Amino acid sequence: MVGSLLALKDQGLDHVYYHAIETVEGVAKPYLMIPERIQKLIDLVTNEVQSATVEFESESKLTDMLLSRDCVMIVLNQAYRRGERIRVKAPLFGVDLLELSIRDGKVTMLTDSMDYGEKRDANGYRGWDHPTYSDLRRCLCFCGFIDYQNRDRFHNLLTKKLCKSPDFTSGVRKAVLSLDSNMHYNGFPSYLAKLETQLSIPPKDVVCVTAFPVVKEIQDKIKRKYKSREIHDARDYYNSRNLGSLINEFVGQNTLETRVAKMAKSELTKFMKRPTHEETRRVDLPKDKEDVDHLIVDELEKFAHERGVSVNLVSADKNMYDFCELAQDVGGTILVLPSKITRTMDATDRSFVVLLVGLSLLYGVVELEKIGYVFGEYRGKRSELYTDEVKLRFRNSHRARIVEERTETCMKLMQLDITR
């Protein structure tokens, strides 16, 4: 096609435009959903790269839209074309979290452990399950911006043990992966999927098992609802800070599940939907937490004996590692969080979306300066996976109309199922 157009170059054409994309990976989607940073509009007549800008009318009006992950990229492309840096805040928490520079592919932290702790103590509602600085680090880990201190150890576990075919002549058993409940709260299944992509490991090659006590533990946490008094006190607290419109939607009603339990449930669902996954037998849980940890290891040990395999349990709990050391055919791996967050981090275009969705899930709602508020509670109305959908409340109705029009166009194009 380009050759045909070039043949017309000398026919008095003023312009011949060619839309170039820097990579062929992950771009089988409408161009509005492809990061603008990797797109170029080249004039083949003048050999110039064209640039476009988006101007918004000053029309301040709150407008709500439900957005999938891919549609969040449409919003970021708007910011890219305007040359905007996006400051991300936790408004119910009173802290500026970080700044996104989409053109430069950088994320800059705006808080540290001390600043975060001081603002959390000063502004955080005491009865609320506000995330800690460690929770923020975990979020940045499974979003791919920082890595666990012992990442190499888990890389070796994946490549040299879990994906290695058993040598029956030497008595080596097939290795199976299992996760402690805390790894679902840490978003580890999402992190695992990214590692497999980086290491070119097919997910079907990693055999997985979940101990039923882990499932039951998370299910029991989900049953814990916000009490009416907690919601009433929270509303009073935040209404006094002119955040009533956010807290009313964020809290909703007293049947709302706790945010962290929803995240764990989503990650557990993702893990149990893996291509090769089994669950141990159903058992009753003891009341003591340490007894539950013992039971998890015991059930995995029985599973290993019945299947003739060895189980590798990944946990963030040192005590669980000690229990594994005493068990037969059950090994433990502890993932260690980094001691601090790097001030400036490199980012890919896709990771900006992952980060915004991840932060909105962690805090329930985050504010994007100049754009609006991203609510992470709104994914679950149509999906059992917690991370599929968010709600964006735009400040500017003109900006919202542009996103709505482009989203509608993308949905129609995707229905055509054009992948080449």
**pLDDT: is 109 or 148 the higher one?**
109
The beta strands (E) that lie in 295-388 are given as 309-315, 330-334, 344-346, 365-368, 372-375
pLDDT, position 152 = 85
The number of residues making up the chain comes to 420
**pLDDT: is 302 or 12 the higher one?**
302
Half-sphere exposure at residue 38, Cβ-oriented, CA atoms within 13 angstroms:
17
pLDDT 10s digits, 91-111: 877 899 999 998 888 999 999
Q: Which of 395, 325, 369 is nearest to 64 (CA)?
A: 395
pLDDT, position 17 = 56
The residues spanned by each domain of the chain are 60-144+341-415, 151-334
pLDDT, position 295 = 93
CB proximity list for 189: less than 8 A, separation 6 or greater: 179, 183, 267, 268, 270, 271, 274
CB proximity list for 337: less than 8 A, separation 6 or greater: 134, 137, 138, 141, 148, 149, 316
Strands 344-346 and 106-109: antiparallel
Q: Three-state SS for 278?
A: strand
Q: What is the mean pLDDT of the chain?
A: 77
Distance set, CA 288 to CA 261, 291, 308 (Å): 20, 5, 30
pTM above 0.75, yes or no: no
Look at residue 274 and tell me whether its pLDDT is greater than 60: yes
pLDDT, position 304 = 92
Confidence of residue 79 (pLDDT cuts 50, 70, 90): confident
Fold of 151-334: Rossmann fold (3.40.50)
pLDDT, position 277 = 94
pLDDT 10s digits, 165-199: 555 455 557 889 999 998 888 788 988 888 888 88
pLDDT, position 100 = 93
366 token code pair: 């985050």
Give the amino acid at 92. Answer: L
**pLDDT: is 398 or 414 the higher one?**
398
